[in-house]
Amino acid sequence: MSTAEDLPVLGAPVDRVDGPLKVTGQAPYPSDVDLPGQAHAALVQSTIAAGRITDLDTTEAEKAPGVLAVLTHHTVPRLPRGPMTSLGVSPPAPLQDDRIRHHGQHVALVVAESREQATAAARLVRVEYAPADPVLDFDDPRAVSVDDPWGLDSHRGDVDAGLASADVTVDAVYTTPDNTNNPLGLFSTLAAWEGERLTVYDATQWPAMVRETLAEVFGVPEVSVRVLSPFLGGGFGAGLRAWPHVILAVQAARDVGRPVKLVLTRPQMFTSVGHRPKGVQRVRLGATADATLVAIEHHSTSLLAVEDDDYEPFAAGSAVAYACPHVVTADRQVRANVPAPVSMRAPAHAQGNFALESAMDELACALDVDPLELRLRNHADVHPALGLPWSSNALRECYAVGAERFGWSRRPARPRSRRDGHWLVGQGMAGVSYPWYQAPSLARVTVTADGGATVASSGMDIGTGTYTVLTQLCAHLLGLPLEQVRSDLGDSDLPEAPQAGGSGLTSALGSAVADACERLLGALLELVRDDPESPLHGSDPEDVVAAGGGLRRRGDPGRGETYAAILARHGRPQLGADGASTPAQPTELGMALAGAFGAHFAEVRVDEDLGLVRVSRVTTVIDGGRILNEKTARSQVIGGVIGGIGMAVFEDTITDPTTGRIANATFGDYLVPVHADVPDLDVTFVGEPDRASALGVKGVGEVGLVGVAAAIANAVHHATGVRVRSLPITLDALL
């Protein structure tokens, strides 16, 4: 038995199925949800970066109008830290003692009848501190460092010998600043207890993890905790953890015996839900005169919170980016009194690729070879570490198609070759090899009496189109029109799916949906095969296809019946099936599991007198395996490129070097690209379905961002002759 062989909906640029809900304001984003009798909470945050609280006076706040409770480390019970998750440790539990570990740490939570009352009363909480001298940067001799935090450091060949044998070497240091994820939607948690049952509407990318965490922290069974995140106003990684404010909102709801809603402010979004940590990277490359790489050495140091972890192996990607015999990559983290970092769209790779692809451009200049040619000559035809063929790899096609669309061949080789008035015009490029990632997933698909179907999963749509692609996939596999399929997502009571993160959800959850559809069709077929009243009575599985809203005889579509008819005759209101997917194992497959590949070609204009950088066009070509929806995938990549433009020329979370306070924690001061900064973005997909994925899918959520910063920095060099090794590329850097 198989599904329809034509592909009417899969891959098509279908409009978002949740679009009408969103544009009419009916999609319930977390902060839109209200419950009867709810109270509101506001945070009090520390105004020092290190030290202790010596006095915390809540008297005035408690007397303020509408105040129901003030939670402090004196009132909050000792709570266990949340569990180890597949992405690492949970953040420390909040309000457990008098220690201050970073500026902006939560020190109290005020609960009141209204948000305004809570906010006003929060200002009446008096906190006295005994400040200590905070560790705020890499160079502080007191800082504790962690070498090879994830066991990902790699050694291949003999890098010193490789460098010694090179005709040309590059040795350069690149720095990237703190960036803040800054989803537009303010993170919010609404928690309600009914006895020992807990319901939480949370701005999370991972409802199942929040459920597990809350169950463990508050000592209740997982089944009595329900976490809902059906819509999210962006996350970019900030929603991958159960942050301290989530725990506090739940504790507050338990304390006051009412639902409690906590919505972070924009400045609190800078200190409470993570950020991309700053880093320093040293890259040494060696090549022979014919532009063959003989050595890659990549060391990184990034900043980490004092009592927390973060997965940020900047350098690791360099071990598999190019065919090269001698490679060392090593990552190191340094603990400081800073807010906890977190994965921010393309964690580690956004930063690591900037260093590697900038260094490759420097090497191309040193070799006097075209930067694209250098990459082609050192292309990793097989996985450089495993020596296995890739499960898919169209990076060469990304380069070829991108170069053609961009007009790369017309680029003059020398920097400062093109000028338009006072604008210097330059072009640069970068390649991207994004890592494979997938986690196990479950899903349920159910056909209902009306003949339609429902997909159900705890996995959520971060805004990228998960609702749409799952609906398309289910419609395709069951032979239903799109309108007859509904997807219910972002509810931890539904079959467990992994986080919307790591560019891995579509493949994991999509494969589980496909498995559920296959099992469901099998169950339906069993019903009809033994049913003398069915036109498909006695049919072999291979003779039946799913089409036209039901099961049909292959080659004889007139002979068949709809799901509605099957269910009706068997007196079933519905029939469902659970599906599962597990990540592929490279050794079993004899293939190296490939993530997405990509190439970016950027053109910039630099005002020669003023140092202003304007990105004038970007061409991006992505190998994302099979693309389930050309429109939502393109939007993903466009969003990624815009994030890359922000990283390249705007985004910089500035921490005051003496107090540890973030100095630009507003959208007026922390600049992200606005419409007027985003030129025409040309996005093309190439490649074949991935052989290691049941659906052939490789995620495209992050690959679009990676490489943009390097392509722009390389274009700036081509325009001006100035090599900028420190992001963002600001006005003064180019004068």
Partner 1 sequence: MDFLRPTTLDEALAVKAQRPDAVPIAGGTDVMVELNFDHRRPGALLDLTRIGELAEWSSSDGQISLGAGVSYTRLIGELGDVLPGLAMAARTVGSPQIRNRGTVGGNLGAASPAGDTHPVLLATGARVELASVRGRRTLAAEDFYTGVKRNALEPDELITAVHLPIATGGEQFAKIGTRNAMVIAVCSFAIVLRDGHAGAAIGSAAPTPRRVAEAERFLLDELPWDAPAPLADSFKRRFAELVAAAATPIDDVRGSAAYRTHALGVLARRTLTWAWDTYRGSARACA
Strands 453-456, 485-488: pairing is parallel
Shortest distance, CB of residue 411 to partner 1, whole angstroms? 25
**How far apart, in whole angstroms, are the C-alpha atoms of residue 347 and residue 350?**
6
**Interface segment toward partner 1; rule CB under 8 A; list 97-105, 181-189, 312-320, 727-735:** 727-735
Among 151, 221, 590, 668, binds partner 1 (CB under 8 A): 668
Shortest distance, CB of residue 664 to partner 1, whole angstroms? 5
**Which positions from 109 through 168 interact with partner 1, judged by CB under 8 A?**
123
Task: Report the interhelical angle of 708-720 vs 630-649 (nearest 10°).
Answer: 50
3-class SS of residue 726: strand
Question: Radius of gyration (Cα) for the chain, nearest Å?
Answer: 27
Shortest distance, CB of residue 720 to partner 1, whole angstroms? 16
Shortest distance, CB of residue 311 to partner 1, whole angstroms? 29
Q: How far is CA 227 from the centre of its chain?
A: 20
Q: What DSSP character marks residue 483?
A: G
- As separate numbers, helices (DSSP H) first and strands (DSSP E) second, the chain gives 16, 29
Measured from the CB atom, is 108 or 508 closer to partner 1? 108
By CB under 8 A, residue 726 contacts partner 1: no
Smallest CA-to-CA distance from 716 within 598, 600, 608 is with 608
Tokens 């902060």 correspond to: 31
**Interface segment toward partner 1; rule CB under 8 A; list 63-71, 108-116, 167-175, 671-679:** 671-679
Shortest distance, CB of residue 612 to partner 1, whole angstroms? 7
Measured from the CB atom, is 407 or 657 closer to partner 1? 657
**How far apart, in whole angstroms, are the C-alpha atoms of residue 369 and residue 607?**
27
Shortest distance, CB of residue 642 to partner 1, whole angstroms? 12
By CB under 8 A, residue 419 contacts partner 1: no
Enclosing H/E stretch for 161: helix 159-165
By CB under 8 A, residue 186 contacts partner 1: no
Measured from the CB atom, is 588 or 732 closer to partner 1? 732
User: What's the half-sphere exposure (Cβ side, CA atoms, 13 Å) at 538?
Assistant: 3
By CB under 8 A, residue 184 contacts partner 1: no
Shortest distance, CB of residue 26 to partner 1, whole angstroms? 23
Among 368, 530, 556, 669, binds partner 1 (CB under 8 A): 669
3-class SS of residue 734: helix
By CB under 8 A, residue 616 contacts partner 1: no
Measured from the CB atom, is 542 or 676 closer to partner 1? 676
Structure tokens at 419: 């000028």
**Interface segment toward partner 1; rule CB under 8 A; list 174-182, 202-210, 540-548, 673-681:** 673-681
3-class SS of residue 12: coil
3-class SS of residue 340: coil
Structure tokens at 310: 């973060």
By CB under 8 A, residue 654 contacts partner 1: yes
Span between the terminal Cα atoms of the chain, in Å: 68
By CB under 8 A, residue 612 contacts partner 1: yes
CA angle (26 as vertex; 21, 32 as ends), nearest 5? 135
Smallest CA-to-CA distance from 183 within 246, 235, 241 is with 235
Please give the backbone phi and psi of residue 615, each rounded to the nearest 5 degrees, phi first: -80, 120
Enclosing H/E stretch for 474: helix 466-478
By CB under 8 A, residue 410 contacts partner 1: no
Shortest distance, CB of residue 676 to partner 1, whole angstroms? 4
Measured from the CB atom, is 574 or 666 closer to partner 1? 666
By CB under 8 A, residue 732 contacts partner 1: yes
By CB under 8 A, residue 680 contacts partner 1: no
Measured from the CB atom, is 451 or 679 closer to partner 1? 679
Measured from the CB atom, is 3 or 664 closer to partner 1? 664
Measured from the CB atom, is 80 or 667 closer to partner 1? 667
By CB under 8 A, residue 659 contacts partner 1: no
Catalytic residue IDs: 702
By CB under 8 A, residue 676 contacts partner 1: yes
Print the binding letters for residues 239-258 with partner 1: x by CB under 8 A, - otherwise.
Answer: --------------------
Shortest distance, CB of residue 264 to partner 1, whole angstroms? 14
Smallest CA-to-CA distance from 342 within 272, 244, 431, 258 is with 272
Assess contact for 598 and 398: CB atoms under 8 A: yes
Among 638, 671, 721, 722, binds partner 1 (CB under 8 A): 671
**Which positions from 300 through 319 interact with partner 1, judged by CB under 8 A?**
none
Q: For residue 119, is it left (φ>0), alpha (ψ between -120 and 50) or beta?
A: alpha
Task: Report the interhelical angle of 349-367 vs 708-720 (nearest 10°).
Answer: 30
Among 81, 677, 682, 722, binds partner 1 (CB under 8 A): 677
**How far apart, in whole angstroms, are the C-alpha atoms of residue 238 and residue 182?**
8
Beta bridge partners of 262: 41, 189
Measured from the CB atom, is 450 or 669 closer to partner 1? 669
By CB under 8 A, residue 609 contacts partner 1: yes
By CB under 8 A, residue 730 contacts partner 1: yes
By CB under 8 A, residue 735 contacts partner 1: yes
By CB under 8 A, residue 420 contacts partner 1: no
Smallest CA-to-CA distance from 659 within 145, 265, 310, 137 is with 137
Print the binding letters for residues 568-607 with partner 1: x by CB under 8 A, - otherwise.
Answer: ----------------------------------------
**Interface segment toward partner 1; rule CB under 8 A; list 331-339, 473-481, 510-518, 662-670:** 662-670
Runs of H (alpha helix) within 295-406? 349-367, 371-377, 395-406
Beta bridge partners of 129: 53
3-class SS of residue 91: coil
**List of E strands, 397-450:** 418-420, 423-433, 441-448
CA angle (477 as vertex; 474, 478 as ends), nearest 5? 80
Print the binding letters for residues 358-397 with partner 1: x by CB under 8 A, - otherwise.
Answer: ----------------------------------------
By CB under 8 A, residue 614 contacts partner 1: yes
By CB under 8 A, residue 289 contacts partner 1: no
Which residues make Cβ contacts (< 8 Å) with residue 228, sequence separation at least 6?
Answer: 199, 200, 201, 202, 207, 490, 491, 492
Among 673, 687, 699, 707, binds partner 1 (CB under 8 A): 673
Measured from the CB atom, is 495 or 673 closer to partner 1? 673
Shortest distance, CB of residue 41 to partner 1, whole angstroms? 18
User: What's the half-sphere exposure (Cβ side, CA atoms, 13 Å) at 111?
Assistant: 25
By CB under 8 A, residue 650 contacts partner 1: yes
Tokens 């969103």 correspond to: 22
By CB under 8 A, residue 664 contacts partner 1: yes
Assess contact for 142 and 135: CB atoms under 8 A: yes
Tokens 């200190």 correspond to: 271
Measured from the CB atom, is 153 or 652 closer to partner 1? 652
Among 196, 385, 610, 657, binds partner 1 (CB under 8 A): 610
Among 415, 611, 689, 721, binds partner 1 (CB under 8 A): 611
Strands 613-623, 188-194: pairing is unpaired
Q: Which residues bind partner 1 (CB under 8 A)?
A: 123, 422, 609-612, 614, 650, 654, 663-664, 666, 668-669, 671, 673-677, 730-732, 735
